[in-house]
Chains A and B, each alone.
Chain A
């Protein structure tokens, strides 16, 4: 069974500093990895995805994520954090349709990012 782990419930960072939100995954086939962001009382917004190719994936709002196969990690990063980045971030893994999966996303428990002035 596929799973993701987000080891930090909350990450605090000062505005202008780089931020990292951690995610590790476990899959039996090829990993298809996603990051979503959720603002209070809102649905999830897609940030970026890794399917194949370059290990550094660029996404929306200046976010990027680094895929590391040997460490089974897919950490979310941003060079300079903004107060408006404060939100709940979810890492997710999708099962492989080629191995019988159906595009089911399995989410982590989320990491609350707080960016302070």
Chain B
């Protein structure tokens, strides 16, 4: 069964350092999502791509976060500089299209010290 791949699974970084996460969606899925899940809360959408275009980044803290999906396949989410409050699980999801159900990867757990 096809799955969304994410790496790394765990990342520990110091405050003010840069960190990057990678996501490879299910093959053929045009829509890709990055969510942030703070402990004890539900996931919150950070950015949504349709192919290589951003369709929603209204909740992305653009002063420190950036996301790209250059060829419309895999995607990278970057944080620079990391802050203590960025400690969370970062989840990537993909769907065939914007109306289809989303399938989630295993996530990257980020700890900022």
Residues of A within 8 A of B (CB): 34, 36, 41-46, 49, 90, 92, 97, 102-105, 107-110
In the complex, how many residues of chain B place their beta carbon closer than 8 angstroms to a beta carbon of chain A?
26
A105 / chain B contacts, CB cutoff of 8 Å: 43, 45, 102
9 smallest beta-carbon distances between A and B, as pairs: A107-B42, A43-B104, A103-B98, A44-B104, A43-B106, A43-B107, A43-B105, A102-B56, A107-B43
- Quote the shortest CB–CB distance from A59 to chain B (angstroms): 11
Q: Pick the contact of A92 from B31, B42, B91, B95 — CB < 8 Å?
A: B42
B101 and A34 contacting across the interface, CB-CB below 8 Å: yes
Q: Which residues of B contact A102 (CB under 8 A)?
A: 48, 55-56, 98
B81 CB, min distance to chain A CBs, angstroms: 26
Residues of B within 8 A of A90 (CB): 42-43
